[in-house]
Every structure is written in structure tokens, then in C-alpha cells.
Structure 1
Amino acid sequence: KVVDLTHLLYRDMVSWPTLPSLMYEHTALAARDLYTMTVITRMNTHIGTHIDVQSHFVPGGKSIEDYSIESFMGEGVVLDLSWKKAGEEISVEDLKKYENDIREGEVVMLCTKWDKKSRYTNEYLFQWPHLGVDAAKYLVSKRIKAVGIDALSIGGWMDTVPGQGPVAKSSPVEVHRILLKADIIIVEELRGLDEVLDGKKTARAFFVFAPLKLSDAEGSPCRAFAFVY
């Protein structure tokens, strides 16, 4: 079966708290103008289900156009981490429980079920389970191709806004740098990883997370899906 792993994009959708959300408008309507046309008036490259590539945190790193299309797909596994609590770090010990399932050159998807909470709440926006620095180093040692998570970011919340201070213990910037320096593509804000698991602790699939072919871009919304065996 094929499982859609992509959030629906909509006006003023839930997104990273310090970035502008999505805005678009219809400039023509078929009932009036004989055709319909939509113009996106505001969109950051990390809106909805999206990828991060090397140049996001690595000066002089590769941008989207520097990757082959094959870079954005591959065999891999979903790991059940839905038992992690709000704001909790995913540790090396957590990942080592699945040591034999994490294979060189493959995709690793982390299922926290945080996508089920996707709305404008303090919990969803700031307190998701996230990867720690040591866990990021562990994934680099496993020589994986890409890592994804069904939360706002692979790293935790470390910024400060009027309603919320830092949550993460590990630096999310360092988590990103460790992964991206190793040229591990990051996929964030996935949905439906639990559908791939289908009640199991692990499940293998072929994943696709194809971005827009943007020039000089460090990230992009993507259409992510999985072919489940």
C-alpha cells in the first residue's frame, strides 16, 4: 500500500513559531473568469512537511539543486518512539533498541505520533520529542541516508518567544549541524508514520520525500509518501 506522509498545506497553517505562515489567494475564479488561478503571496521553505539540506546549517554546504533526485528517496524503516514524553530527548539508548533495523545507506523515520497534536497549542509548538546531540552522532555512525520525524523539527525548541522559553537540553543547531555535515537529509513535519507501522514497533518501506527544485535553497516543502511492503 501507499501511505501519504504529507501534511495538507492551508492558509495560516501551524508552522515554526518564529517564521511566517503560508498565505495565498485566488486571483481568478472559473465561475467569473472562466479559469481559476492561485497565487502564493507568502511561503517559507520550511512550511509543512519539508526537507532540510546541508546549506541550512553548513556554510558553503550543498543546496537542493546540488542533489540528485535519487537523494530524496530510498529504502528504510519507521521506528516506534511514540512512548517518548512531551519535550523529551530521543537518546542513543532509545535508538540502540532498534540497532539491527538501522542500516547503512537507508532512511530512518522516527514515529512520535506528534502529528496527531498538530494545532496552535503550547504543547505542539514547543514540547515535541526530539533528537539529542549524542543520538544524532549515533545516526551519523550508522551512515544513514536521511532521517525524518513527525514533529516540527528534528531538534528541540531552544528559542524564546513571549509565551515560551527554551525546552531542549541539547542544542538543536548542533543536532542539525551534526546530521547535515554528514550529508544526512532531514525530513520534518511528517504525518502518518503510525499508518506505516500499523501496530508494529518497526516497519520497512520505500520512502519518497521529493522537494521543489529550487535554486540556492536550503530547504523546501516536499511531497512525502511511503510504499509499504
Structure 2
Amino acid sequence: MVDIPNRIIDLSNPVHEGIPVWPSFPSVRCEQTNWAARDGFTMEQVKMRTHTGTHVDAPLHFIPEGKTLDDFSIESFMGPGITLDVTPKDRAEPVTVDDIEPFIDEIEKNDVVMLHTGWDWYHGRTQEYLFEFPHLTGEASEFLAGLEPKAVGIDTPSVGGWYDEMPNHGPATDVHPADSHLPLLENDIVPIEELRNLDQVLDGAQSRRADLFFPPLPFKGTGGGSVRAFAFL
């Protein structure tokens, strides 16, 4: 018998055609192909990248011969963990070792570590959310990997910053995305990106433990997948 938690907090961004996506990705397409009034049933066709909305990365995302999403057991996408308040963060300000080190005694091996930057407040097609979000430095990613967590989540579009060029925005960081991702992915630590509502998990505290769940659909052979993430308190 499963004990019912006192609170369940949804940590996922809804998926719809207007959802912000990585700026070089095409927009989500969601077409209603059948209508119950006409066809006897309603059905939709969705077209989107696997790294859309709240999602996880697999090593293949950055490592050519890396593990794929289905190489991880379902247990890899759930477990006890801790949410850390690393606010305040300015535009494009990285999350550093200095932000994480004060919590070192609270982080346990195989924890799911969630980083609350507060950047989900900007969620949408805004310059702040799409390009100028906080991200891990390579050193911070290496530091976290050394603590041997199961996963590391963040409430921004990526654990790595915006490093590319678009017509209306140049790079916002000199930290290459691989520097932020590889220390995690090379150690089978799952990045969880585009989270929200981590402030509700913290509920005013600087850190708080919870049971965390972020299971993707069982895609085979992919470098990641969208998830439904939530916390049990």
C-alpha cells in the first residue's frame, strides 16, 4: 500500500503550441486530426523535439557513443532528493561551486538535486527565458558530479547556457554547453531541464528534501525525452 503524500507539487511545464522551445528548434505542432462529432472519436497529432518542455537528457545528447534514454531503468527517474535555493540570479549569471558548497553536508549519494534559480518566473518567449538564463559552470557541474547524485535538475531551459547566435541575440555566456553537460552525462547523472515550481517545494526554506519523480515515455534510442516531473512532500 502506498502512503498518500501530504502534498504533490507539479514541476512540469504544460506542452502546447505556444510553449517556448530552444530558440533553434521549430515550434511545437499540435493538430486535431479527428473530431468526435464528425469521426466518432477525437485524436491529435503532435510534432516536437524530444527535448521539449520539462525533459531529461541522456548521455547520447552530447556523447556520440553514449547511453540512450532506454539504457536507464525506470528507477533512474525517481528517488529521494533535495531542492536547493541558489537565488538570487541576474541575467545569464551562472550557478557556481560557491552556490552549491554551503549545502554539501545535506546532499546524499544518489540524491536527485534540484536547483531553484527562480527563472521559471520568466517562462515564455522572452529574452530572459530563452537566452539569458542561469546555468552551471563547468566547475559547478564537476563539483556536483563528485557528490554522486542520481540526477541534477534546474528551472531554466538547460544546465548549459545560451552559447549560440540568433538574429536577435548573440551568446549570453562563454561557458560551452558541453562543459556544463559532460561532467554529469559522463557519469550517468541525468540532467532535468525546464522545471518549475521549485519555490513551492522549498516553501521559504533554503533547502528541503522531497521524493522526486520525472519519468519519460519509454522512447528507444533517443538522447532524451519530455517528462512529467513532480514532488511528493
Deviations 1:21-44 (A, max 9, x none): 21011111112222111111x210
8 Å contact from structure 1 (residues 76, 106) kept in 2:
yes
Task: State the alpha-carbon separation in 2 of the partners of residues 53 and 205 from structure 1.
Answer: 23
Which of 137, 153, 156 aligns to 1:132? It is: 137
Q: Report the equivalent of 2:11.
A: 5
- Which amino acid is 1:70 matched to? E
Which of 18, 21, 27 aligns to 1:15? It is: 21
- Which amino acid is 2:17 matched to? R
Which of 184, 187, 191 aligns to 1:179? It is: 184
8 Å contact from structure 2 (residues 88, 118) kept in 1:
no
Q: Report the equivalent of 1:201.
A: 206
How far residue 12 of structure 1 moved from its aligned partner, in angstroms, is 3.3
Q: Report the equivalent of 2:168.
A: 163
Which of 42, 48, 54 aligns to 1:49? It is: 54
Q: Report the equivalent of 1:227.
A: 232
Aligned residues: 227
Q: Report the equivalent of 1:145.
A: 150
Which of 85, 90, 100 aligns to 1:95? It is: 100
How far residue 70 of structure 1 moved from its aligned partner, in angstroms, is 0.2
Task: State the alpha-carbon separation in 1 of the partners of residues 12 and 124 from structure 2.
Answer: 15
The two structures have a TM-score, normalised by structure 2, of 0.95
Give the secondary structure class of the aligned counterpart of 1:154: coil
Task: State the alpha-carbon separation in 2 of the partners of residues 108 and 52 from structure 1.
Answer: 15
Q: Report the equivalent of 1:81.
A: 86
Structure 1 unaligned regions, length at least 5: none
8 Å contact from structure 1 (residues 21, 47) kept in 2:
no
The equivalences for 1:56-71 within 5 A come to: 56-71=61-76
How far residue 154 of structure 1 moved from its aligned partner, in angstroms, is 0.5
Task: State the alpha-carbon separation in 2 of the partners of residues 143 and 188 from structure 1.
Answer: 18
Give the secondary structure class of the aligned counterpart of 1:140: helix
How far residue 102 of structure 1 moved from its aligned partner, in angstroms, is 1.6
Identity score, percent: 44
Task: State the alpha-carbon separation in 2 of the partners of residues 15 and 130 from structure 1.
Answer: 16
The range that moved more, 171-180 or 139-148, is 171-180
Task: State the alpha-carbon separation in 2 of the partners of residues 5 and 198 from structure 1.
Answer: 14
Deviations 1:67-100 (A, max 9, x none): 1100011110000112121100111111001111
Give the secondary structure class of the aligned counterpart of 1:71: helix
How far residue 195 of structure 1 moved from its aligned partner, in angstroms, is 0.7
Establish whether residue 29 from structure 1 lines up as the match of residue 38 from structure 2.
no
Task: State the alpha-carbon separation in 1 of the partners of residues 176 and 163 from structure 2.
Answer: 7
The two structures have a TM-score, normalised by structure 1, of 0.97
Query: Cα RMSD between the aligned structures?
Result: 0.9
Task: State the alpha-carbon separation in 1 of the partners of residues 215 and 27 from structure 2.
Answer: 21
- Which amino acid is 1:73 matched to? M
Task: State the alpha-carbon separation in 1 of the partners of residues 139 and 56 from structure 2.
Answer: 22
- Which amino acid is 1:220 matched to? G
- Which amino acid is 1:172 matched to? P
Structure 2 unaligned regions, length at least 5: 1-6
Task: State the alpha-carbon separation in 1 of the partners of residues 166 and 230 from structure 2.
Answer: 33
- Which amino acid is 2:39 matched to? D
